[in-house]
Amino acid sequence: MASDAARPPVDDSGPAAGSAPVDSSGPASGEPPGSGSPTAPGVVRTFDHLVVAVPDLAAGVREFELLTGARTVPGGSHPGRGTANHLVPLIPRGWEGAPLTYLEILGPDPAQDPALAARSLPGVTGLCAQRWAAHPTGFDAAVARADQAGVDYGDVFDMSRHTPDGGLLAWRLTRRTPLAHGGAQPFLIDWGSSPHPAHGLRPQPTSSQFTTADPAASDPAASDPAASDPAAPAPAAEAPVTLLLERLEFFGPDPERLSDAIRVLTEEQVSVEAAAESGFRATISGPRGELTLTSVGVHP
């Protein structure tokens, strides 16, 4: 696990290996990014959400809010999985409108058996990028394509969680234990007739919300004195804060195999770096600068 707050990450991973990427950015609705807008490298058009795991949900939410300046929204519990979550508005850089994407903070549910949470969150000792989801246009077709190509996605499961208003959200997903390629291989999700969780989050601004052209944006303390004090709470904002997904970076000992798996599941090609361990890095940005989160057990 690793995180770098309020500063760009250092690229010490070497040149990318594997197949050259095609355009892998754009909203879940399929609309292309705006002309001239910078896009998020490594983010496929079917990107649904990023899962950030924590060993203690309440403490992890506080830490995330301090590092980013964002406010999270309680999501609900996952019966039988031992976990609960908080949600944060998140859109990939360069995507316009209000795409159905978000960030999930996943941690143990105090109301459930801790042993269940331990099985759902193996190796999670701090704030980390655990995995990410893709929402294919045809879930069953994507699963069949993976079966034909020999991509190990685990199995298909019916999932649900209770929402804070007492409702029940139900969906299907693929799940493999342990995570394939250290979480770098996406799991597939199908929300069916349930409303997408992003609908319940606050309205999202455009992807130009944070820019480095503004000195206050490059120096969070200039516009937010509390940003220089790690003990200070996230500032109350009149407008909702939507975080930006700046990039996803994938790596592993077999770049071609990982790249092929992502291509089969998402029908897009991404770059994969050669590395001793499999995993991925997710860089997000907000009022307090950039934060890079790395897979469980992997150090940048």
- Closest by CA to 260, choosing from 164, 148, 149, 135, is 149
Task: State the pLDDT at residue 162.
Answer: 76
Whether pTM exceeds 0.75: yes
pLDDT band at 203 (very low <50, low <70, confident <90, very high): low
Could you check whether the bond before residue 178 is cis, i.e. omega within 30 degrees of 0?
Answer: yes
Expressed in angstroms, the distance from the first to the final Cα of the chain is 9
Percent pLDDT > 70 in the chain is: 73
Over residues 33-83, the pLDDT tens digits come to: 544 455 899 999 999 999 999 999 999 999 999 999 999 999 988 889 999
Task: State the pLDDT at residue 229.
Answer: 55
Over residues 111-151, the pLDDT tens digits come to: 999 999 999 999 999 999 999 999 999 999 999 999 999 99
The position carrying tokens 């804070």 is 164
Reply yes or no on whether the pLDDT at 227 is more than 70. Answer: no
Query: 3-class DSSP state for residue 262?
Result: helix
Reply yes or no on whether the pLDDT at 17 is more than 50. Answer: no
Q: Say which amino acid occupies 276.
A: A
Over residues 263-294, the pLDDT tens digits come to: 999 999 999 999 999 999 999 999 999 999 99
Q: Which helix (H) or strand (E) holds 202?
A: none
